[in-house]
Structure 1
Amino acid sequence: MNEFDKDYWEDQWGDATSGRERQLPVNPYLTAEAAHLPVGTALDAGCGTGTEALWLAEQGWEVTAADISSTALAEAKSRAVTSGVGERVDWVEADLSRWQPGRTWDFVVTNYAHAQIRQLPLYRRIASWVAPGGTLLIVGHLHSHHPDAHHGHDHPEGATATLEGITNLFDSPEWRIDSAYEQVRTVHPGGSPMRLRDVIVRIHRLT
């Protein structure tokens, strides 16, 4: 399994930000699943170069955007300067597997984030940062035994999750699962098609 430590992500984002044409538009699951939510405070856990954090800020959210990579955050801050909403985003360099923010948010979203712990323990940690009455949106890479699963975006061991595995984390009176589904889509980073197998879960924290 990849370590997904700071050095790993600095290498990954160093390659990505050297060619800005690789920047993808905002994750479509975020725009669909957050459209009805009342605006408040939001955390983008594993924000990368800030696409989703800036979109949330454009909708009026007060955003905390956390990532382990200083390279990614430098790019995000640069984009924020020209966005007109940079004052709504607080950029935080943090390792999600160890971070103790000491607060909660009305809306917590994580898009394809990986840390030095496996996906389900990571999602459990991120869920603890949701305020009572708030919402958690998980967008992850789907673990599948489908015969063509490896013909798209490749994922190392431990970087994927199943729909059942995620929803089982929230099988308690504290939570209500509002959306839970799998989807296949194609993106074009750098102009080349890449097939993604996604798992999407939106959960409301009741207490």
Structure 2
Amino acid sequence: MDSTTGVNAYHFDQDESRKELAYMIILHKYPLSIVDHIGFRRYSTSLQPLFKMVCRNTIKKEIMRIYDHEREKSMHEIEKNRSRIAITTDMWTSQHKRRGFMVAMAYFIDDFWRSQSQVMRFIYVSSPHTKEVLSDVLLQTLLEWNIDRKLSTMTVDNCNGLNVIGSCIEKVCESVGFWTGLTKRRQRFTDMAQ
């Protein structure tokens, strides 16, 4: 309490409130237009009359700042990781706009032996969704995140992705068949592995 006025001393931070508004929109998947809703504006003013409500463009910029910050944290986490990284991709098309999107996820074990996962990329993929287009998007993601040399496995959700690496899969299958075909070869492989 301020001894001169008898009023509770309270520090209001416009920037911090704007950031919390952005987190609320992200967390609850609210539309950016919520900042234009009269009821929401009145409610916000009743809570804190000093808060100046922002426009859609301003809140969008704040959300992008949060995204950039979180992306940097994720990239740093993956960069400092010393283990191999497994990648999964999922491709789908939105129902109302018929647009294709891909998400690429990274999975790894951290230094404390905890399983970790990170969304690396959520991206619009132009049509047609051929194996070349999908593999190019995935390769760009691996290079952008600098994990092309840390990759252990990759799991894709459709046959297009498998077509790209089909010849590699055949070679692996042939190799497994060769080394496990005879007991003598299997023993030799085990000896060599040890």
TM-score (norm. length: structure 1): 0.23
Higher Cα Rg: structure 1 or 2? 2
Q: Report which structure shows greater RCO (CA 8 Å, sep ≥6).
A: 1
Structure that is richer in helix per residue: 2
